[in-house]
Amino acid sequence: MVRAERPIDAEIPAYNGTFTNTSTFEHALSSEPRRTSKGLPDFTPRTAPAFARSPHKSNDPNVNASTRLPPRTPVICGPTAGGKSDLALDLAQLCAARLDCDAEIVTADAFQIYRGMDIGTAKPPISERRGIPHHLIDLVEPDAPSDQRFTVDDWLTRAEAAIAAIRTNGKLPIVVGGTHMYVKALLEGLFDGPEPDPALRAELAAMDPAARRAELERVDPAAATRIHPNDARRTIRALEVYRQTGTPISAHQQQWDRGQSNDRYQLIILDWPTEQIKRRINARVRSMMQLGLLDEVRNLIATQRLGPAAREALGYKQLEPIVRQALDQGIWPPNPTAVEEAVERIKIETRRFAKNQRTWLRRLGATAGALSIDAQAVTQDDWAVRVMDRLVHSPQ
**Looking at the domain assignment, is residue 369 inside a domain?**
yes
Answer yes or no: do 48 and 88 share one domain: yes
**CA dist 296 → 121, 139, 264 (Å):** 11, 18, 39
**Looking at the domain assignment, is residue 3 inside a domain?**
no
Expressed as residue numbers, the domain containing 236 is: 198-254
Answer yes or no: do 105 and 144 share one domain: yes
Answer yes or no: do 202 and 152 share one domain: no
Say what the pLDDT of residue 24 is: 33
**Looking at the domain assignment, is residue 233 inside a domain?**
yes
CATH code at position 44: 3.40.50.300
> E strands within the chain?
34-35, 41-42, 73-77, 103-107, 134-135, 172-176, 265-271, 371-374
Answer yes or no: do 150 and 125 share one domain: yes
The number of folded domains in the chain is 2
Say what the pLDDT of residue 36 is: 39
Answer yes or no: do 165 and 229 share one domain: no
Tens of pLDDT, residue by residue over 122-136, are 999 899 999 999 999
Say what the pLDDT of residue 68 is: 77
Answer yes or no: do 278 and 135 share one domain: yes
Torsions phi, psi for 204 (to 5 deg): -70, -35
Q: Name 76's bridge partners.
A: 176, 268
**Looking at the domain assignment, is residue 1 inside a domain?**
no
Answer yes or no: do 280 and 227 share one domain: no
Helix, strand, coil tally for the chain in percent (to 5): 50, 10, 40
Tens of pLDDT, residue by residue over 80-96, are 999 999 999 999 999 99
Answer yes or no: do 249 and 363 share one domain: no
Answer yes or no: do 208 and 178 share one domain: no
Helix/strand/coil for 175: strand
CATH code at position 240: 1.10.20.140
Answer yes or no: do 291 and 211 share one domain: no
Cβ contact 153:184 at 8 Å: no
Answer yes or no: do 170 and 299 share one domain: yes
Say what the pLDDT of residue 48 is: 65
Say what the pLDDT of residue 255 is: 53
**Looking at the domain assignment, is residue 217 inside a domain?**
yes
Distance CA 196, CA 232 (A): 15
Answer yes or no: do 164 and 278 share one domain: yes
Show the low-confidence residues of the chain (pLDDT under 50).
Answer: 1-45, 55-64, 256-260
How many CB atoms are located within 10 Å of the residue 2 CB? 4
Distance CA 235, CA 212 (A): 8
Say what the pLDDT of residue 18 is: 38
